[in-house]
Structure 1
Amino acid sequence: MQRLRDEGRWGLVSPVVAPYTRDMSDGADQRLVLLVADEAGRDLRASIVHRLEEADVPFTMAVVGCDEPFIGLEEVATGIVDLLRRFRPHVVHVAVGGLDLRDQPEPDGAVRPARAIADLRRDLHHIADAARQSGETDLVLSTLPPVDDERQDQLRGNDVQQFNILVREVGRQRDVLVDRWDLAVDETARSPADLKPDGYTLGATGRDKVAVSVATAITDALIRADHPWRRFCRIGQGYPLEGVPRPRHLELG
């Protein structure tokens, strides 16, 4: 995956929030957030950063996001270990999956069928495994926003609901926070509408609701990570990066 090796394709997307520390001993209480998203999620990152800047929390946050979107969960599952080792984030927020539910045209004219739920379940568990094994990163998985079947045939509402049930199931099984885009967005809203006339793309109101949902989920994950019980549970478990100082990220310098 060239994206994971190309330094120029990842960058600090929050110029206002203080960058993640070069040296954690300087007294600054800072958190690094990694956004992993498909095209729809990537286009929301400026709004997400704005909402995070407004959060009433006792620490500052720096946000790293992708310049190129992830195609689907399989790509995320393949690269997640490298991403976590490279960026060492406190929280990684994964908002990918919509394209996995559609038939995708290939360059040669063939059509790649939508992926099976069993394959998506495997990918989600692999991502959860990577976050847990890092010993220092908390994972947030997002559901998909609802769609309006009466206005489009790109995504079936039943497929979206089935995917969202899967994400929530994995969240319960793996003690992972779930960002409920399906609750934040109302596909029946009209004035103003959460969805554009195509029935599946987020409109301005929907985008703002999702940005609020993402920021809330991320801050909740960061606060939960500081709970004394969760800190205690991490002591002495021998994670691969335990005791190794977090690196200074060029993207955040």
Structure 2
Amino acid sequence: MLVWGEWSPYTQDMIDGDDRRLVLLIADEAGRNLRAPIVERLERVDAPFRAAVVGCDEPFIGLGEVAAEIVDLLHRFRPHVVHVAVGASDLRDQLEPDGHRRPARGIAELRRDLHSIADAARQSGETDLVLCTLPPVNDECQDGIRNNDVDRFNIVVREVGRQRDVMVDRWDLAVDEHAETPAHLEADGITLTSQGRECVAESTCTAIVDALIRADHPWRRFCRGVGRHPLEGVPRPRHIELD
């Protein structure tokens, strides 16, 4: 599901000796379409390190799929930061290939998935997690997903962030559903406009950089050394994106 270095901006202009940090983007279809602007912004950041980014070749359908694969992904790529922007499809009824309709998932299930993802990041001993809220929707323009469902999901994301001491990328604050000039949402009340995508990409870049800086705090480095982690003592392999 992941692709190595097919997004050309990833390692441009990097030279030997750069302090490079690997970022793993886990996203649904909407989030995957934001890869390029996120990478462009990360390249322009004034920080004491350079970010190399890997992401999904195919979008993740929902948080259940992320929770099922996150341990393998972290062991395979061993990123410094993983950014998870998945969840919108979980709030909608889904039409299966056989024609049956799968109902939207409950908030309790999504909370369990978020905790499973946080568990995997903690147990890796090397990866800091960023969870992402959903952008707001215009409740008057569509019936597939209700605004209160998005609000409830975002409350759970923030709750898990506080409980597990992980950063939260606030797309719900970056996007204004009432903005008109220019609008952040298309006429369907869900899809982000170009301006909305710009706002979200900027928020994501800020969250990733903040997470990378936070990960370097001496106290967090000390905490990683407490207890036994599956990856403790194993050197981080070089990635093709960093060569």
Aligned to 2:142: 152
Q: Give the distance between the partners of 1:53 and 1:215, measured in 2 at CA.
A: 10
Q: How many Å separate the matches in 2 of 1:11 and 1:43? A: 17
Residue of structure 2 aligned with 1:192, choices 173, 179, 182: 182
Task: Give the equivalent residue in structure 2 for 1:183.
Answer: 173
What pairs with 1:228-243 in structure 2 (closer than 5 Å)? 228-243=218-233
Instruction: Give the equivalent residue in structure 1 for 2:36.
Output: 46
Which runs of 4 or more aligned residues in structure 1 lie more than 6 Å from their structure 2 counterparts after TM superposition?
none
1:113 corresponds to 2:139: no
TM-score (normalizing by structure 1): 0.91
Question: Aligned AA for 2:37?
Answer: S
Give me the whole-angstrom Cα distance separating, in 2, the residues matched to 1:73 and 1:252.
Answer: 29
Q: Secondary structure at the match of 1:35?
A: strand
| Counterpart residue identity of residue 3, structure 2 | W
Structure 2 distance, partners of 1:110, 1:18, is 44
Return the TM-score normalized by structure 2.
0.95
Secondary structure at the counterpart of residue 54 of structure 2: strand
- Quote how far apart the aligned CAs of 1:251 are: 5.5
The 5-angstrom pairing of residues 162-181 of structure 1 reads 162-181=152-171
Equivalent pair of 1:100/1:114 in contact (CA under 8 Å): yes
The partner residue of 1:161 within 151, 163, 167 is 151
| SS state at 1:133 partner | helix
**How far apart are residue 55 of structure 1 and its match?**
1.1
1:12 Cα offset (Å): 2.2
Mapped to 2, the partners of 1:116 and 1:62 lie a distance apart of 35
- Cα distance in 2 for partners of 1:44, 1:38 equals 10
2:64 equivalent in structure 1: 74
Residue in 2 aligned with 1:6?
none
CA RMSD of aligned residues (A): 1.6
Does structure 2 retain, via aligned residues, the 8 Å contact 1:77–1:123?
yes
Percent identity, aligned pairs only, is 71
Alignment of 1:119-134 (within 5 A): 119-134=109-124
Q: Is contact 2:20-2:242 (8 Å) kept?
A: no
Alpha-carbon deviation of 1:13?
Answer: 5.4
Is the aligned partner of 1:91 residue 2:81? yes
Q: CA deviation at 1:10?
A: 1.2
Instruction: Tell me, in whole angstroms, the C-alpha distance in 1 between the residues paired with 2:240 and 2:39.
Output: 19
Cα displacement (A) at 1:240: 1.2
CA distance in 2, matches of 1:34, 1:161: 26
Deviation at 1:215, TM superposition (A): 0.3
**Which amino acid letter does the alignment assign opposite residue 74 of structure 2?**
L
Provide the rounded CA distance (Å) in 2 between the counterparts of 1:191 and 1:53.
28
Note if 1:245 corresponds to 2:238: no
Q: Secondary structure at the match of 1:178?
A: strand
Letter in 2 for 1:116: G
The amino acid across from 2:65 in the alignment is: E
Superposed displacement of residue 235, structure 1 = 1.9
Q: What is the deviation of 1:248?
A: 2.7
Match of 1:218 in 2: 208
Change (3 A) 1:79 1:192: same
3-state DSSP of counterpart to 1:65: strand
Please report how far the alpha carbon of residue 250 of structure 1 lies from its aligned counterpart in structure 2 after TM superposition. 4.0
| Alpha-carbon separation, structure 1, partners of 2:10 and 2:91 | 35
* Residues paired across the two proteins, number: 241
5+ long unaligned stretches in structure 1: 4-8
CA deviation after TM superposition for structure 1 residue 88, in Å? 0.4
